[in-house]
């Protein structure tokens, strides 16, 4: 007869108390997971989280109380969990898991890693570290009522990056600056404006009218000439938005009239833009100031769910500018503010600026709650979902520690029962993808770019770090000389940053060997020179076309690519609107089906989808379709927990 300790066999209970495990993230899922881990019998636990506790966390992250606001999540979580099991040995790190201190040897010291993260960059990094250390990783994520847990084991299962992922949704600059047509365009513009005025200026986040808009010309030659002219100073001394704002003393009235009157009047002179669109309506501060005492309010309920009138948003804009001006002054010369959805003045500013722009372009204005959800890329987190997913993580961990990795499953939590009355649907884990540029035996990718226009710095930051998830890449050109293009050692190759790839002899067919020693990861990059990329597209990864769907015949029996660019969403249907890809309904519970050969249908209208990454943990699954009632479409939102 087997000896048991509680509900566990003695051998397994002993294994739990002896093994070291790492929990990455102490937020919504992390709080539930840490509680489960200590109560299950794990004794040696390390937890890492860079975040501090915010008041908005308290409704679901039960290890935290109001007195903890502003403190380290990892440290407070440790202290709270020790009340459940004082004998546990818990180490807390208030740090980023991407810190070089947490190298491959650090990961090798654990028998198991459990992810409870909320961003893709960290997920990619932990995936690679666990592959390099050859230890099992349990990945997880939630999106509202939906959730997922999966197991990643080197050589046995797909890794987190085996399937292409959707990237953050981006919009053409001319749409944001000249012709917004959706509330999200105005919200993105308002966030850009915050950075231009109070934060770190970014040339890609310009908010003034775009005179290089291709719609202003009817032939390519005119478009090219206009674009070239916009980059030249001529007789005009160009001043940055921040410098101009400083010169006014951040005067709210001058800012208002410049942004919502003068710039709009300038847009109206671009008459070709308005031949088939409704022209914008400039606002005047004095006109609406007279209406200031008449504050129209629509909507009932909480204050954040109400929509003010134009006069109300004029006043909110003025107050928020004055507050942010004071905050900037308190930080001293050269200081910058960082936009945070949980910072009231910053949120007031974006709410006011976005709504005023919506009004100008004849859109229905949004409540502060709605704008916060869209600007912060949030799907409301639900404590119960986090609790269920955390429980499933521990169940998969017990299988791994029992030596039954083959019995592990990808498990989906659905919003509604499937035809078999199941909310939890397990499916078999997929084997590694032979074409994965992370876990294949010899990772290799092909990138299209213009070698005469692509800077070395862009290769490093936008391609290697942002696209391919590296932390500290070293790049060597395979030119027979071993030319070092990029070095992770500070100061060694910084002089190369502002040079073009062609300056180093890189041309069509060149090959670059890229190494990230922190991740113990090597990638071979094949370069294809291309001068006719689409407007605003700096590079393309060949074969990485997540927004192009395979045909039905191609889908059968094959893995479905799960992804699209920081971020449009994943799709297995080319006709589905991109903004409806955040959630899925799983309809089958047959374990013999793999996680990449089952059909899914979106709850928001019946389009086939795969469980999207953002912060959901991104499944690579298809599921049998089941019609569901239409849900409201939340523009461009990404999951929080």
73 is in an annotated binding site: yes
Instruction: Give, in order, the Cα–Cα distances in Å from 289 to each of 43, 347, 360, 367, 407.
Output: 63, 22, 16, 21, 67
Put the strands of the sheet holding 473-477 in their side by side order: 484-486, 473-477, 511-516, 521-529, 444-449, 539-541
Regions of the chain with pLDDT less than 50: 1-5, 217-238, 293-294, 545-593, 596-641
- pLDDT score at 528: 94
Question: Which residue in the list 31, 85, 174, 408 is annotated as catalytic?
Answer: 174
* Residue-range domain boundaries for the chain: 10-167+380-428, 173-218+239-376, 444-542
Block residue for tokens 């990404």? 638
25 is in an annotated binding site: yes
- pLDDT score at 6: 57
Cβ-Cβ contacts under 8 Å for 262 (sequence gap 6 or more): none
- CATH number, span 10-167+380-428: 3.40.50.720
119 is in an annotated binding site: yes
60 is in an annotated binding site: yes
- On whether the CB atoms of residues 179 and 209 are closer than 8 A, the answer is no
- Partners of residue 522 on adjacent β-strands: 515
- pLDDT score at 8: 77
- Catalytic annotation on 174? yes
Over residues 599-632, the pLDDT tens digits come to 333 333 333 334 433 333 334 333 333 333 333 3
Yes or no: is domain 173-218+239-376 CATH 1.10.10.520?
Answer: yes
Is 425 strand, coil or helix? Answer: strand
- pLDDT score at 597: 38
Q: What DSSP state is assigned to residue 521?
A: E
Select the CATH number that applies to the domain covering 444-542 from these four: 3.40.50.920, 3.40.190.10, 3.10.290.20, 3.10.20.30: 3.10.290.20
301 is in an annotated binding site: no
- pLDDT score at 588: 35
CA 439/CA 159 separation, integer angstroms:
7
528 is in an annotated binding site: no
27 is in an annotated binding site: yes
159 is in an annotated binding site: yes
Q: How much is the pTM? A: 0.66
601 is in an annotated binding site: no
The first and second tokens of residue 77, run together, are 């979580």
Over residues 485-543, the pLDDT tens digits come to 999 998 899 999 999 999 999 999 999 999 999 999 999 999 999 998 887 788 999 87
- On whether the CB atoms of residues 445 and 523 are closer than 8 A, the answer is yes
31 is in an annotated binding site: no
End-to-end CA gap in the chain: 43
506 is in an annotated binding site: no
């Amino acid at each position: 007869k087997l000896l048991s300790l509680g509900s566990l066999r003695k051998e397994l209970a002993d294994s739990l108390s002896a093994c070291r495990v790492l929990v990455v993230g102490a937020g919504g899922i992390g709080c539930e997971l840490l509680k489960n881990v200590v109560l299950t019998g794990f004794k040696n636990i390390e937890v890492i989280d860079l975040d501090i506790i915010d008041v908005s966390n308290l409704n679901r992250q039960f290890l935290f109380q109001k007195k903890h606001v502003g403190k380290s999540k990892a440290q407070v979580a440790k202290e709270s969990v020790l009340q459940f099991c004082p004998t546990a040995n818990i180490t807390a790190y208030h740090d980023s898991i991407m810190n070089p201190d947490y190298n491959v040897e650090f990961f090798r010291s654990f028998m198991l890693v459990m992810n409870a993260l909320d961003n893709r960059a960290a997920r990619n990094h932990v995936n690679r570290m666990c592959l390099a250390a050859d230890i099992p990783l349990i990945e997880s994520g939630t999106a509202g009522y939906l959730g997922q847990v999966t197991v990643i084991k080197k050589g046995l299962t797909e890794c987190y990056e085996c399937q292409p992922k959707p990237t953050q949704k981006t919009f053409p600059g001319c749409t944001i600056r000249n012709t917004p047509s959706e509330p999200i365009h105005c919200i993105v513009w308002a966030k850009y404006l915050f950075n231009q005025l109070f934060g770190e200026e970014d040339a890609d986040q310009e908010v003034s009218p775009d005179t290089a808009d291709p719609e202003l010309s009817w032939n390519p030659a005119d478009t090219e000439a206009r674009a070239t002219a916009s980059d030249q100073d001529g007789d005009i001394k160009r001043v940055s938005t921040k410098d101009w704002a400083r010169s006014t003393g951040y005067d709210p009235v001058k800012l208002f009239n410049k942004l919502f009157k003068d710039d709009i009047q300038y847009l109206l002179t671009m008459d070709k833009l308005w031949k088939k669109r409704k022209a914008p309506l400039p606002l005047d501060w004095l006109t609406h100031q007279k209406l200031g005492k008449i504050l129209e309010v629509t909507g009932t309920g909480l204050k954040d769910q109400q929509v003010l009138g134009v006069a109300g948003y004029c006043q909110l804009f003025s107050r928020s500018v004055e507050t942010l001006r004071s905050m900037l002054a308190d930080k001293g010369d050269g200081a910058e503010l960082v936009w945070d959805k949980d910072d009231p003045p910053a949120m007031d500013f974006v709410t006011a600026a976005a709504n005023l722009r919506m009004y100008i372009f004849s859109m229905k204005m949004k409540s502060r709650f709605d704008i916060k959800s869209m600007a912060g890329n949030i799907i409301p987190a639900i404590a119960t979902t986090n609790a269920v997913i955390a429980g499933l993580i521990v169940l998969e961990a017990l299988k791994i520690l029992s030596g039954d990795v083959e019995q592990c499953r990808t498990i989906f939590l659905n919003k509604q029962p499937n035809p078999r009355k199941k909310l939890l649907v397990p499916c078999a884990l997929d084997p590694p993808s032979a074409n994965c540029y992370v876990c294949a035996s010899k990772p290799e990718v092909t990138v299209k770019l213009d070698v005469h226009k692509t800077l070395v710095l862009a290769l490093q930051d936008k391609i290697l770090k942002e696209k391919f998830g590296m932390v500290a890449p070293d790049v060597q050109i395979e030119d027979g000389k071993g030319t070092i293009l990029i070095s992770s050692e500070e100061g060694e190759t910084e002089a190369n940053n502002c040079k073009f790839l062609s300056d180093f002899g890189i041309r069509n067919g060149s090959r670059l060997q890229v190494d990230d020693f922190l991740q113990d990861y090597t990638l071979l990059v094949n370069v294809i020179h291309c001068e006719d990329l689409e407007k605003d597209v700096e590079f393309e990864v060949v074969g990485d076309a997540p927004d192009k769907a395979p045909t039905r015949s191609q889908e059968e029996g094959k893995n479905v690519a799960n992804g699209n660019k920081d971020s449009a969403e994943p799709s297995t249907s080319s006709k589905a609107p991109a903004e409806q890809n955040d959630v899925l309904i799983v309809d089958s519970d047959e374990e013999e089906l793999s996680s990449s050969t089952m059909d899914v249908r979106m709850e928001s209208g019946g389009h086939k989808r795969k469980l999207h990454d953002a912060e959901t943990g991104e499944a690579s699954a298809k599921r049998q379709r089941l019609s569901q009632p239409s849900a409201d479409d939340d523009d461009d939102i990404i999951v929080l927990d």
